[in-house]
């Protein structure tokens, strides 16, 4: 942290800042310039915040040098992380050396529909099955998901097609139950700043897929991840799924620049959800290609065997030619940016499954 003193600051003002910092257990290094004095602080940044330095006489500005998110920062973990999802044959990596496809129905509607979708996504190269069972919707009259029944269906289908499964949880009191059935827990955009839920998910012992909030800055997104990491869980995958802007042509505006920006700031894997960003089937594959080219560690897409009958987000769900186009992109493009595409039954060596 750096304290910039005003040009009018007196020696007593400077000495007062130094005494306060040292009393808080820190060290203060004073550098006198031609017109300004700068004081460099070393120590517990959180303790310095408690000093209310900006309000002290003679202080012009206070700047934080280190990242406010410690555990997920690249400064404190200089090598990018790989998160492993699942166990045994149903196990897949998400990280800097591979490219991973996570796919499935936006909402689990029935065993048959989920199994058909799972079979389709596995054939397309997906290594993680993602389906919604608790559906936080803008309208209270929209389909809210099958809840626990859907959770059991998703786990059953995942075991049948030998894919690890991921689903969203919306309430802290459901985290333990969800963790018993799935291999990865998703925190959706509407709960990106539900701090109690983030903490509960961090204690669940399962990898976490954390979506960016609809109006979150990148720093706020990473601080949300820090809530999870503080509870002892660093198996976090960040998901860019579009942010709210003034542009109505798509459901959200996909911030493709977030991929390299976050990767320069954090060691956590970053995936992109083009389905929920676009809300339109015809844009999903082009945006997925853009994500691969930008260096994303994977993409998350909606797939449904009968989109016209889907209870949720049918207009963005892939099937047929669109799904085959996505499969080709996932198979062919990652190699151009130095990655290996993960495949079902991926055998790349990794840490032993817990």
2-63 maps to which CATH number?
3.30.70.1140
- Other beta carbons less than 10 A from residue 75's beta carbon: 13
Of 19, 56, 13, nearest in space to 37 by CA: 13
Distance CA 21, CA 56 (A): 12
Rg (CA), the chain: 23
Please state the pTM of the whole predicted model. Answer: 0.85
Sequential DSSP letters for 27-72:
EEEEEE-SS-EEEEEES-HHHHHTTTGGGSTTEEEEE--S-S--TT
Distance CA 118, CA 134 (A): 18
Distance CA 102, CA 100 (A): 6
Does residue 252 sit in helix, strand or coil? coil
**Quick one: pLDDT at residue 168?**
95
**Quick one: pLDDT at residue 345?**
66
The helix or strand, by DSSP H or E, that contains position 90, with its residue range, turns out to be strand 90-94
To which residue do tokens 């009191």 refer?
Answer: 173
Of 299, 342, 344, nearest in space to 323 by CA: 299
Q: List the domain boundaries for the chain.
A: 2-63, 83-341
To which residue do tokens 């979150």 refer?
Answer: 216
Does residue 208 sit in helix, strand or coil? strand
**Residues 229 and 207 sit within 8 Å (Cβ to Cβ):** no
Sequential DSSP letters for 293-346:
HHT-SEEEEEB-S-GGG-SS-GGG-B-HHHHHHHHHHHHHSGGGGT-EE--TT-
**Quick one: pLDDT at residue 2?**
87
Which parts of the chain sit beneath pLDDT 70? 345-354
Q: Is 156 exposed, middle or buried (0-12, 13-18, 19+ CB in 10 A)?
A: middle
Of 325, 297, 280, nearest in space to 85 by CA: 297
Structure confidence by residue, pLDDT tens digits, 69-116: 889 998 878 899 999 999 988 899 999 999 999 999 999 999 999 999
Domain 83-341 in the same topology as domain 2-63: no
The CATH number of 83-341 is which of 3.90.550.10, 3.40.50.300, 3.20.20.70, 1.10.3720.10? Answer: 3.20.20.70
**Quick one: pLDDT at residue 109?**
95
* Four-point Cα dihedral 136, 140, 143, 146, nearest 10: 60
């Amino acid at each position: 942290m750096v304290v910039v003193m005003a040009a009018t600051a007196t020696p007593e003002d400077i000495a007062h800042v130094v005494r306060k910092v040292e009393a808080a257990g820190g060290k203060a290094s004073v550098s006198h310039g031609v017109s300004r004095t700068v004081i460099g602080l070393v120590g517990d940044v959180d303790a310095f915040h408690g000093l209310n330095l900006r309000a002290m006489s003679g202080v012009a500005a206070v700047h934080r040098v280190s990242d406010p998110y410690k555990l997920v920062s690249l400064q404190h973990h200089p090598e990018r992380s790989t998160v492993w999802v699942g166990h045994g044959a149903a196990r897949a990596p998400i990280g800097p050396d591979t490219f991973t496809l996570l796919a499935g129905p936006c909402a689990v509607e029935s065993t048959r529909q989920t199994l058909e979708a799972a079979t389709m996504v596995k054939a397309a190269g997906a290594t993680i099955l993602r389906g919604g069972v608790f559906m936080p919707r803008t309208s209270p009259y929209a389909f809210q998901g099958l809840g626990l029944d859907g959770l059991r269906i998703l786990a059953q289908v995942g075991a049948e097609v030998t894919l690890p499964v991921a689903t969203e949880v919306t309430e802290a009191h459901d985290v333990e139950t969800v963790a018993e059935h799935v291999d990865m827990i998703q925190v959706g955009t509407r709960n990106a700043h539900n701090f109690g839920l983030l903490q509960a998910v961090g204690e669940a012992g399962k990898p976490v897929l954390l979506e960016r909030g609809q109006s979150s800055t990148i720093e706020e997104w990473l601080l949300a991840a820090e809530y999870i990491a503080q509870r002892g869980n660093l198996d976090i995958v960040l998901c860019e799924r579009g942010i709210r802007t003034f542009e109505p042509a798509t459901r959200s505006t996909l911030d493709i620049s977030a991929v390299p920006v976050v990767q320069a700031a954090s060691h956590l894997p970053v995936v992109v959800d083009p389905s929920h960003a676009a809300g339109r089937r015809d844009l999903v594959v082009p945006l997925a290609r853009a994500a691969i080219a930008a260096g994303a560690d994977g993409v998350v897409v909606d797939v449904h065997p009968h989109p016209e009958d889907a209870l949720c987000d049918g207009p963005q769900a892939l099937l047929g030619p669109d799904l085959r186009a996505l499969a080709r992109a996932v198979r062919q493009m990652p190699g151009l940016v130095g990655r290996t595409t993960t495949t079902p039954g991926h055998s790349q060596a990794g840490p032993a499954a817990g």
